[in-house]
A and B are shown apart, each in its own frame.
Chain A
Amino acid sequence: MSNSLDSYLVLSALLFAVGSFGFLARRNAISMLMSIELMINAVNLTIVAFGAFVEPLKTHAAVIALIVIAVAAAEATVGLAIIIAIYRNKKTPLVDEYDAMSQ
């Protein structure tokens, strides 16, 4: 099981599905960001799994995964800053109460 590419890909598909459920269903904006992090992790797992099983992709996959991690860190920084800025205005972290761009 641990030596087949399929099991890692299925694991990452399940992780992606869990993350997409959280993104669609949660009300809290920070929960939605956490779900996005889960989905990014699933994609990264796919990249690393392909790199570990396909010889020509071996080091390229590691480099691409590193770049994806850095971009995810940038995304989390800006996303959380936006949520905190909205929270200053609206006094709530719940996205279904964000019904206007400005007040």
Chain B
Amino acid sequence: MPIGDSIPFTGISWDDVLFVILAATLLVSALLVVTLRDIIRCGLSLTVSFASLAGIYVMLGNPLIAATQVLVYIGAISVLILFAIMLTQTKNAPSKLVFQTQVLVAAVAAVFIGGVIIATILTTTWPSGGQRLWTATADVAHLLFHDYVLPFEAVSVLLTAAVVGGVYLARREIGKNEGDKP
């Protein structure tokens, strides 16, 4: 092995360093998503947060979920969101206020939610082995296509229905909006 498990002379393991870097990237980009004024930048930093979360999935020994995260979230949902942003941006009236008037209440509520969840996590003894397990993709495939085949089919029907419904909702009605085109 070319490098050891931990940084020489300090005893900090490389996994910890990687976890801290990925977690910091995730939280900072998530905060940028909810606070930036320019919504295009919000969408781009949402992509960064998806990517760092994919890295955390790899650290958790789940390469299949990480690949799905990259394909579905970065590849599809980010592009969809950026398209929607570009379709709904108004040139004449950029939003002066990013936040609603209840922003302080929202901040207090979010801190409260986070505090309650963290307190619950830290006071509960979880049945954890203290070691990350590697999830083999073949096992996931066997489980998905044997025990979970009904949810799998239900999800495929749901996705088809959602795509058809999305096209129906977002289509331009012919002859209705001709007069007020910009």
Partner pick for B169 among A5, A52, A54, A78, CB 8 A cutoff: A78
Q: Is A3's CB under 8 angstroms from B131's CB? A: yes
Q: Considering the complex, which residues of chain B in the window 19-66 have a beta carbon less than 8 Å from any beta carbon of chain A?
A: 19-20, 23, 26-27, 30-31, 33-34, 39, 42-43, 46, 49-50, 53, 56-57, 59-62, 64-65
Q: Is B130's CB under 8 angstroms from A74's CB? A: no
Question: Contacts of A11 on B, CB cut-off 8 Å?
Answer: 23, 26-27, 56
Separation of A37 and B77 alpha carbons in the complex (Å): 9
Q: How many residues of B contact A (CB 8 A)?
A: 95
Question: Contacts of B90 on A, CB cut-off 8 Å?
Answer: 91-93
* A31-B42 contact in complex given A15-B27, A53-B128, C-beta closer than 8 Å: yes
User: In which size bucket is the chain A interface?
Assistant: 35 or more
Proximity bits, B95-110, A CB within 8 Å = 1, else 0: 1011110110111011
Q: Is A76's CB under 8 angstroms from B80's CB? A: yes
Instruction: State the total of A-B contacts with C-beta under 8 angstroms.
Output: 263
On B, residues with C-beta under 8 Å from A are 13, 15-16, 18-20, 23, 26-27, 30-31, 33-34, 39, 42-43, 46, 49-50, 53, 56-57, 59-62, 64-65, 68-69, 72-73, 76-77, 80-81, 83-85, 87-90, 93, 95, 97-100, 102-103, 105-107, 109-111, 113-114, 117-118, 121-122, 126-133, 135-136, 139-140, 142-144, 148, 151-152, 155, 158-159, 161-163, 165-170, 172, 177
